[in-house]
Amino acid sequence: MKLAIVTAYPPSKVTLNEYAYHLVKHFRQKEDVTELVLLTDKTYEHKDVVFTEDGCKITIEECWEFNSYSNILNVTNAISRVNPDAVLFNLQFMKFGDKKVAAALGLMLPLVCKLKKIPSIVLLHNILEEVDLGSAGFTKNKVMQKVYGFIGSSLTRLILQADTVAVTMQKYVDILEKKYNAKNVKLIPHGTFEIPEKPDFNVPVGPMQIMTFGKFGTYKKVEGMIEAVEKVRESTGLDLEVVIAGTDNPNVPGYLAKVQEDYKHVPQVRFTGYVEEKEVPKLFNDSAVVVFPYTSTTGSSGVLHQAGSYGKAVVMPDLGDLTSLIQDEGYRGEFFEPTSVDSLAKAIENIVTNKIYRRELGKANYQAATGYPMSEITEIYLNTFKKIMEIPSRAVMLIV
């Protein structure tokens, strides 16, 4: 099986690049896959394809750019050059750009595959029906939100032209089947990137690190988290460090720099910047608590799965997809009201002042994470490919 992947890929800063890295890592170890062809976005640095595990050959071809209107042509031409027998798109709605036209054109690729009679699967990480357009940085204008809703429904219908649309949450299956009368939607969990050896659930000596990880500025904002930790310091006297790991959301350039300036008077607040894959284990292992300072959600959380894999206690807003993940996959944590600093402070305090409770949450989350290793998730995709293709030896393409 020749597996081609069109994807943002590390060191790219485009969304889902980390997910692509772990897909590649596990697909390349499958006996059914003889070659991986990565059709990636363009980056100045070399792609990170050095793995310690044995696996199949990997070929890289950079052929698209974020916000380029020509992506649909360039990716289509790349598909023709590679000549696959099947395509898997691993998408969210702003995968190919944060400009409306560029993003929409990229999402027409499943229809292109249908017209070219190439079997295809779309892994869709979010659906617009479950996105708060204002909080997520699209628009706060009510009229424009209705326009976005219409455009989103149209694009969803294009995406549903794929042979199979895989989503990571049962709620998404229900919505797509009910609203679009879709018969080709399948639940395939997000999966856990790495399953380290069972952690000891302790934290390093020194300040307890209260960490958040992501792309910030739209519905992920860190001001409330900094203020909440200040309150916990005052009420408990504990030595706490705030660790903000990640970068600005592309829609809000300069956000973290402004936060850093505005809160420079607050001690022990550390901004890590972009976190490379090799730095992720230390980031999580050094943390006592992982916080999700979200006012909205846009899909299954990769960070929650990572926190679970390292046996970490988590603090989450009681809303949307995070609540669904708790119910569906067995994660546990402290909940807070999304707009309340006092509520967030109380949730953090409940964990950092109770070592037994913190370890209990970490153990529960590790158990939840181990239920969906990426090795099993990639096997599900390969089996789905085989059912669509019918002939196991036909080539396969994956678009992330």
Residues 168 and 35 placed together within one structural domain of the fold: yes
The structure tokens listed for 15 are 């969304």
In a domain, 202, yes or no: no
What is the pLDDT at residue 400? Answer: 55
In a domain, 271, yes or no: yes
- Residue 36 and residue 67 in contact, taking contact as beta carbons nearer than 8 Å: no
**Run of H or E residues at 115:** helix 109-115
Residues 310 and 387 placed together within one structural domain of the fold: no
The residue count for the chain: 400
Taking only the tens place, the pLDDT of each residue in 226-267 is 999 999 999 999 999 999 999 998 778 899 999 999 999 999
What is the pLDDT at residue 212? Answer: 96
Q: Residue 184 to residues 158, 187, 248: CA-CA distances in angstroms? A: 13, 10, 35
Alpha-carbon distance of 296 to 40, in angstroms, equals 29
Alpha-carbon distance of 81 to 273, in angstroms, equals 37
Residues 299 and 356 placed together within one structural domain of the fold: yes
235 by DSSP, 3-state: which? helix
pTM above 0.85, yes or no: no
Residues 177 and 301 placed together within one structural domain of the fold: no
The confidence band for 7, taking pLDDT boundaries of 50, 70 and 90, is confident
Taking only the tens place, the pLDDT of each residue in 168-220 is 888 899 999 999 999 999 999 888 887 777 888 888 888 999 999 998 988 89
In a domain, 196, yes or no: no
The total number of structural domains in the chain stands at 2
Residues 227 and 89 placed together within one structural domain of the fold: no
Q: Is the dihedral of CA 30, 34, 39, 41 positive or negative?
A: positive
Non-local CB neighbours of 32 within 8 Å, separated by 6+ positions: 1, 382, 392
In a domain, 199, yes or no: no
Instruction: Give me the chain's average pLDDT, please.
Output: 87
In a domain, 201, yes or no: no
Residues 12 and 51 placed together within one structural domain of the fold: yes
Residues 171 and 275 placed together within one structural domain of the fold: no
335 by DSSP, 3-state: which? strand
What is the pLDDT at residue 302? Answer: 79
Per-range mean pLDDT, top range of 47-61, 72-86, 346-360: 346-360
φ, ψ dihedrals at 10, nearest 5°: -50, 135
Cα angle at 81 between 77 and 86, to 5 degrees? 90
Residues 60 and 174 placed together within one structural domain of the fold: yes
Residues 89 and 225 placed together within one structural domain of the fold: no
In a domain, 203, yes or no: no
Residues 26 and 91 placed together within one structural domain of the fold: yes
In a domain, 197, yes or no: no
**Residue 58 domain boundaries:** 2-191+373-399
Residues 336 and 383 placed together within one structural domain of the fold: no
In a domain, 146, yes or no: yes
Kindly report the CATH number assigned to the domain that includes residue 11: 3.40.50.2000
Taking only the tens place, the pLDDT of each residue in 282-323 is 999 999 999 999 887 666 677 888 999 999 999 998 876 677
Maximum pairwise Cα distance, the chain:
65
Residues 238 and 116 placed together within one structural domain of the fold: no
Alpha-carbon distance of 31 to 18, in angstroms, equals 23
